[in-house]
Amino acid sequence: MSGALVVQTSFLGDVILTTTLIAELAKRGPVDVLATPIGATALANNPDIRTVFPYDKRGTYGAALGLWNTIKELRTRRPYDAAYLAQGSFRSGLLAMLTGAKERIGFASSTGRVLYTRQVRYRPDHHHAERLWSLAMSDCADPPTRDQIRPRLYPSDDDRRSIDLLLRRSGSTDEPFVALAPGSAWGTKRWPYYVTLATRLAEDFRIAVIGSSADSEIAAQITDVLPAGCVINGVGTLSLLASAELIGRAQAIVTNDSAPQHLASAMGTPTVTIFGPTVPEFGFGPLAERKAIAGHESLSCRPCDRHGPQRCPLGHWRCMRELTPEYISSLLTEVLNPPVPV
């Protein structure tokens, strides 16, 4: 049985959302995935995947030998019944074609669509998790259930043990905490008031800070203003899936429009996502059952970019500066205390 190949070499959040497509395809047969090295770490332990092929675009895009070695490795599974182009570049389409895949399925809006055997309508009004899931479906398929477009992550026993240890070292394993994820690769997506918010929340919760080593400075600022033993600092020290495990144990998370909100969606953690230059209508909002979205709805200049520029094009950055800690705190209260159905 040859199975299916999923090609997803885009951002980490896209990889997490692609688990909806992978889960659907796994109902039909074996699934292999081509992903970036960091994407491959997010897909570890996933029972829906036969093999993950890490593909370093920085090392192979400019090197014909490296690209060919990747293709040869994929061809050991040939011929795939179908390749699903979750990332739609021309190079990804070419790579899928060279594996010998019988079908190549991707979005009609993709730059690599000329290489596809079937083009699927890209629905800008749908969440991206649903768009990706639709690659595996016919045009007349029923709308998906919540479970069908729920992303999935699978922390290991080692990940869980590392979080147990982190919580013990931080002072307690059973006190409730709220996670904060202040980072983003895009400068204008970083809400500037996490330190103030942490101070407000510390009256009722311990605070866990999530992020990469690039977020060490803001994590230190949060740690410096809070009482000893109030902070669980996971910045720059946890694996990706261990970070997901920590988020999964939080009462809720406050995050920018970045990968941690997708980690939270996969772990079912109540989520407050802060949108500045981007908007959830792009299809990348939180999917947790309990969620709230913060955004400056009255600004005519918003959204200004699909991802979020490093600097505000108009110089005022009002989309983030005018979202106050009081406002974000109120949304968090709503998420933590949903109304009781009558």
Query: pLDDT digit string (tens) for 133-189?
Result: 999 998 888 999 999 999 999 999 999 999 999 999 988 778 899 999 999 999 999
Provide the 10 A C-beta neighbour count for residue 340.
Answer: 5
What is the Cα 7 distance to its own chain's centre? Answer: 16
Contact 33, 59 (CB under 8 A): no
Inform me whether the pLDDT recorded for 76 exceeds 80.
Answer: no
CA distances from 68 to 63, 65, 121, 245, 248 (A): 9, 5, 31, 36, 39
Q: Which fold has domain 157-336?
A: Rossmann fold (3.40.50)
Query: pLDDT digit string (tens) for 221-242?
Result: 999 999 888 999 999 999 999 9
Inform me whether the pLDDT recorded for 254 exceeds 70.
Answer: yes
5 strand-pairing partners: 32, 83
DSSP at 149: G
Contact 179, 238 (CB under 8 A): no
Which of 177, 189, 213 is CA-nearest to residue 13?
Answer: 189
Provide the 10 A C-beta neighbour count for residue 117.
Answer: 14
Query: pLDDT digit string (tens) for 265-316?
Result: 999 999 999 999 999 999 999 999 999 999 999 999 999 988 889 999 999 9
Which of 131, 130, 129 is CA-nearest to residue 16?
Answer: 129
Q: pTM for this one?
A: 0.93
Query: What span, in angstroms and rounded, lies between the C-alpha atoms of 244 and 248?
Result: 6
Query: What span, in angstroms and rounded, lies between the C-alpha atoms of 173 and 238?
Result: 17
Q: How confident is the model at residue 39 (pLDDT cuts 50, 70, 90)?
A: very high
Give residue 245's pLDDT. 98
pLDDT mean across residues, the chain: 92
Query: What span, in angstroms and rounded, lies between the C-alpha atoms of 75 and 82?
Result: 13
Residue ranges per structural domain of the chain: 4-149, 157-336
Query: pLDDT digit string (tens) for 92-133?
Result: 998 899 888 989 999 999 999 999 999 999 999 999 999 999
Q: Which fold has domain 4-149?
A: Rossmann fold (3.40.50)
Q: Which tokens go with 249?
A: 């144990």
CA distances from 235 to 46, 243, 250 (A): 24, 9, 15
Q: How confident is the model at residue 61 (pLDDT cuts 50, 70, 90)?
A: very low
Q: Judge if 4-149 and 157-336 fold alike in CATH terms.
A: yes
Give residue 63's pLDDT. 53
Lowest mean pLDDT among 21-35, 41-55, 66-80, 117-131: 66-80
Give residue 78's pLDDT. 67
Token match 């049985």: residue? 1
Percent of the chain with pLDDT over 90: 80
Query: pLDDT digit string (tens) for 318-331?
Result: 999 999 999 999 99
Q: How confident is the model at residue 62 (pLDDT cuts 50, 70, 90)?
A: very low
